[in-house]
Structure 1
Amino acid sequence: MLTSDQEIRELLTAARTVAVVGISDDPERDSYMVAEFLQRQGYRIIPVNPRLVNLNIQVLGEKPYATLRDVPEKIDIVDIFRRPETVMPVIEDAIAAGAGAVWMQLSIVNKEAAARAEAAGLKVVMNRCMAVEYRRLMPR
């Protein structure tokens, strides 16, 4: 589990592609606001939400995917906006997709899922907001 400022800063610096699982197309939702912020910082955002695929709706100008396994490119970080009890299947998909890290947003704590991700070689951040950490740790 990445907990030090230095580890998190290194992850944020190295990453370029962020798949946002549970993203909403509603600009008032946290998932949308965080993804929009990250996109403005230069990250490539990949929306992951089966509802958006079914509605044929783009988010932040990007085509959404139903699952991480459907994403045809390398994913550096999987940013998770899902209830803690629904995280394990997302972790399994992240492992299958070859993601480099999983990031569970504020109030998302699932120690079993974190342990599974770490055992598979993924970096893990839990119970932190990616946008907040970016603002706090990255040079301006």
Structure 2
Amino acid sequence: MNVKDNEIKGLLEKYKKFSVYGLSPDQTKASHYVPAYMRDHGWEMVGTYPKDHEENGFKIYSSLKEVPAEYRKFVDVFRSSDRIPDVVDEVLAVGGVEVLWLQLGISNPEAEARAEKAGIKVVSDRCLIIEHKRWF
């Protein structure tokens, strides 16, 4: 993680649109209720998920490359830590990502280092709901 704790509020203020990598159709999962919470508090988002769904009004794309560029600048990731190298591969391939946010419990130092080396701000093992409540 190359983002300092005191920089998190600034990121959330700057990026009001983002993509949720792994936005689940299951409303009981964090990968659904965290984006719903952020949407309810003024952020706009779309998701990526391998199966087509539009649960709770979220626009879902099958891959990050299909996501409109303005939503791809900030990518919020809900994938297991062992899958982060693949996520970083995709992020680097599509380009345009400025912030890679790995949700609470998710980290992969080697993959994070690759993203950082490419100039991407990386936040790992942090929950957007917790950070929103902390800073706003």
TM-score (normalizing by structure 2): 0.91
Determine the C-alpha separation between the residues in 2 that align with 1:24 and 1:79. 13
Distance 2:90 2:44 in 1: 19
**Does 2:103 correspond to 1:136?**
no
Q: Quote the sequence identity (%).
A: 33
Task: Work out the CA distance in 2 between the residues paired with 1:97 and 1:134.
Answer: 27
How far does the alpha carbon of each residue in 1:53-98 deviate from its partner, in whole angstroms, 9 at most, with x for none? 2xxx213313211111111232231111111110112122223231
In the other structure, the counterpart of 1:113 is: 111
CA distance in 2, matches of 1:127, 1:3: 13
Distance (Å, rounded) in 2 between the aligned partners of 1:70 and 1:97: 12
SS state at 1:50 partner: coil
Q: Superposition RMSD on alpha carbons, in Å?
A: 1.3
Match of 1:12 in 2: 12
Q: Secondary structure at the match of 1:115?
A: helix
1:135 CA displacement: 0.8
- Specify whether residues 66 and 101 from structure 1 end up closer, same or farther in structure 2 by C-alpha distance, changes over 3 A only: same
TM-score by length of 1: 0.88
Unaligned runs of 5+ in 2: none
| Native 8 Å contact 1:48 1:68 kept in 2 | yes
Partner of 2:56: 60
Give the CA deviation at 1:131: 1.3
Contact 1:16 1:76 in 2 (8 A): no
The 2-side partners of 1:43 and 1:106 are apart by: 19
1:17-45 alpha-carbon deviations (Å, 9 max, x no partner): 11111111111111111000111111111
Q: State the distance in 2 between where 1:60 and 1:47 align.
A: 12
1:4-83 alignment, distance < 5 Å: 4=5, 6-51=6-51, 53=52, 57-74=53-70, 75-83=72-80
- Is the partner of 1:113 in helix, strand or coil? helix
SS at match of 1:102: strand
* Alignment correspondent of 1:2: 3
Equivalent position amino acid for 1:88 in 2: P
The alignment covers a number of residue pairs equal to 133
Partner residue in 2 for 1:93: 90
